[in-house]
A and B are shown apart, each in its own frame.
Chain A
């Protein structure tokens, strides 16, 4: 299994008055080369679940093994390295840097890895051509459309060739056509062997035939794992 969670619990602000139990005893396994949707309403815990899978933070208790590493056992700096090598993120707000060019935004994750500028440019250019945004390479990110921004975010998630792609509400700001386009790209990635996990309550995604599984998240618990 690429991702294995066993009795994972996540509590924010533990021991304080504003303590929030976001996940409770979540047990889950996801194979590689699958496309999975975490479905649930806002506040259900799906973003927390996605963050744990994405090595953003460890669980409060329980075992989380991502790409062969015991996440809850992993010291912070190793978790960062593991995340860089294995996880590509696509955020709801895209989180691109508006003043940087499209090319620079896409190559950004390679900066802390010390990849040479020429190689960064080469890899980013390949991805831009593949996603149809090569003509925007030198445009500042603030000057491109929403659909193009989304492709920049996808390209950035793929730049280090990570095996796991996570997307948190990726179609929240997109129209139907762009949402369908997004799912097509995700389907292509799955065909290439990547594992795609999307947290969403958008029907366009949850009813997509590309999905292998839908996991319902409600009140911090997994309710349905077909």
Chain B
């Protein structure tokens, strides 16, 4: 299905990103070999200018790469209209062996790309390029992720054929499991999932409030840095539990169909595109929540300490707001059902 506007857009984005990141990777190698902040040589001064340009290009490339996650999911949803048996993105993504792995790579990659952009922003907030070496090493680590993403995406699109019969979401995520594929979430207990979901949400809010209180100087900094680590770990757990909770519990209340558990149908316009807002709030909240811990190793660097302090305060606050929005949106139909007794 290459000759399709969605496929062409995805492929074009991948090519642009690969070109920009590939170009910047050359700078990364030079940084590894020659970067010497104490030198006044022509090479060092040129390298500083080069890193500035490369990092700016990478920032845009990675932003595009993050946006392709959204593009990919919407494209998969649209393809479902052309593939036999598919009712939503689930059917498309499971039509061959590359869809789900690519989605996971894109999902994990989006966080990594976001972290790189964050490191870059922290770096350029200082006059002395304190994170240049680190961020370019990190960039070299991202190159394989981008390459794997591109390969999987190409294989996925190339092997996506309208005449292949695939399974619809009711089979893939249904209670019965079947179609030869089995239920992707077999064994998850809705009750336990909900307890973990609300428990972790409560824990994140408590930790976040403690963190904000500490940064305001209201209490002694008894566990300096520790809170940010705990906060991020809680968010990591919450992200996984939330994805399971959306699939096993919340989605069926949104559809008002007890046996329909699909994480993708909720993005459809029939359901008011509520899924887009739910996922946007969850992923953005998780990003800011995780980033609080990710920047912790650099919090002690004099050059960026103040920037990181300010960022973490904002990130904690923002992630809490997004957590509340996400929890509210995802729980709305469930609560409505419970309060009205299913009327």
Complex CA gap A192/B48 in Å reads 38
In the assembled complex, the CB of A82 is this many whole angstroms from the nearest CB of chain B, namely: 9
Contact between B37 and A73 (Cβ–Cβ < 8 Å)? yes
Instruction: Give the Cβ gap from A175 to chain B, nearest Cβ, in Å.
Output: 43
- Chain A positions 68 through 103: 1 when the CB is less than 8 Å from some CB of chain B, otherwise 0: 010011111010000000000000000000000000
Stretch in B124-132, B254-262, B265-273, B317-325 touching the partner: B124-132
Give the residue name and chain of the B residue nearest to A79 (CB).
Answer: B127
B52 close to A (CB within 8 Å): yes
For residue B48, which residues in chain A have a CB less than 8 angstroms away from its CB?
73, 75
Q: Is A206 an interface residue (CB 8 A)?
A: no
Which residue of chain A is the closest to B127 with respect to CB atoms?
A78
SS class, residues of chain B in contact with chain A: loop
Q: List 25 A-B contacts (CB under 8 A).
A: A6-B40, A7-B40, A9-B42, A14-B42, A58-B45, A59-B45, A60-B45, A61-B40, A61-B41, A61-B42, A61-B45, A62-B40, A63-B40, A72-B40, A72-B45, A73-B37, A73-B127, A73-B128, A73-B129, A74-B127, A75-B48, A75-B52, A75-B124, A75-B127, A75-B129
Instruction: Give the Cβ gap from A151 to chain B, nearest Cβ, in Å.
Output: 35
**Complex Cα spacing A84 to B37, Å:** 25
Within the complex, what minimum Cβ distance (angstroms) separates B49 from chain A?
Answer: 9
- Given A62-B40, A72-B45, 15 more A-B residue pairs with CB atoms under 8 Å apart are A6-B40, A7-B40, A14-B42, A58-B45, A59-B45, A61-B42, A63-B40, A69-B127, A72-B40, A73-B37, A73-B48, A74-B127, A75-B52, A75-B124, A76-B52
Q: In the complex, what residues of A have CB within 8 A of residue B52's CB?
A: 75-76
Most B CB contacts (10 A, CB to CB) among A6, A72, A75, A76 go to A75
- Kindly list chain B residues whose C-beta atoms are within 8 Å of the C-beta of A63: 40
Q: Which residues of B contact A9 (CB under 8 A)?
A: 42
Is B42 a contact partner of A60 (Cβ separation < 8 A)?
yes
Enumerate chain B residues within 8 angstroms of A59, measured Cβ to Cβ: 45
Complex Cα–Cα for A72 and B41 (A): 10
Q: Return chain A residues, CB-CB under 8 Å to B129.
A: 73, 75
Q: Separation in Å of the B59 CB from the closest CB of chain A? A: 14
Contacts of B127 in A (CB 8 A): 69, 73-75, 78
Q: Mark A110-142, 1 if CB is under 8 A from B, else 0.
A: 000000000000000000000000000000000
A66 to chain B, nearest CB (A): 13
Sorting the interface of chain A by its residue count into under 10, 10 to 19, 20 to 34 or 35 or more gives 10 to 19
Q: Which of A1-40 contact B (CB under 8 A)?
A: 6-7, 9, 14
- CA of A63 to CA of B44 in the docked complex: distance in angstroms? 12
Q: Which residues of B contact A75 (CB under 8 A)?
A: 48, 52, 124, 127, 129
Closest to B41 in A: A61
CA distance A63 to B41 in the complex (A): 9
Q: How far apart sit A88 and B34, CA to CA, in the bound complex (Å)?
A: 36
Residues in A with CB closer than 8 Å to B128 are 73
- Shortest CB distance B132–A (Å): 11
In the complex the two chains form, what is the Cα distance from A189 to B261 in whole Å?
Answer: 78
Which residues of chain A are within 8 angstroms of B124 by Cβ–Cβ distance? 75
A172 to B92: give the CA distance in the assembly, Å.
Answer: 75
In chain B, residues 1-59, which have Cβ atoms closer than 8 Å to a Cβ of chain A? 37, 40-42, 45, 48, 52
Residue of B with least CB distance to A15: B46
Q: In whole angstroms, what is the CA distance A75 to B41 when docked?
A: 16
A41-77 interface (Cβ within 8 A of B): 58-63, 69, 72-76
CA distance A73 to B124 in the complex (A): 12
> From A72, which residue of chain B is reached at the shortest CB distance?
B45
Enumerate chain A residues within 8 angstroms of B42, measured Cβ to Cβ.
Answer: 9, 14, 60-61
Chain A contacts of B41 at CB under 8 A? 61
> In the bound complex, how far is the Cα of B127 from the Cα of A76, in angstroms?
9
Give A154 to B42 CA distance when docked, in angstroms: 35
**In angstroms, how far is the closest chain A Cβ from the Cβ of B161?**
51
Instruction: Return B104 CB to nearest CB of chain A, in Å.
Output: 37
Residue numbers in B under 8 Å from A72 (CB-CB): 40, 45
Q: Which residue of the partner chain B has the closest CB to A60?
A: B42
CA distance A65 to B15 in the complex (A): 43
- Which chain A residue has the least Cβ–Cβ distance from B38? A73
User: Which chain B residues in 54-113 approach chain A with CB under 8 Å?
Assistant: none
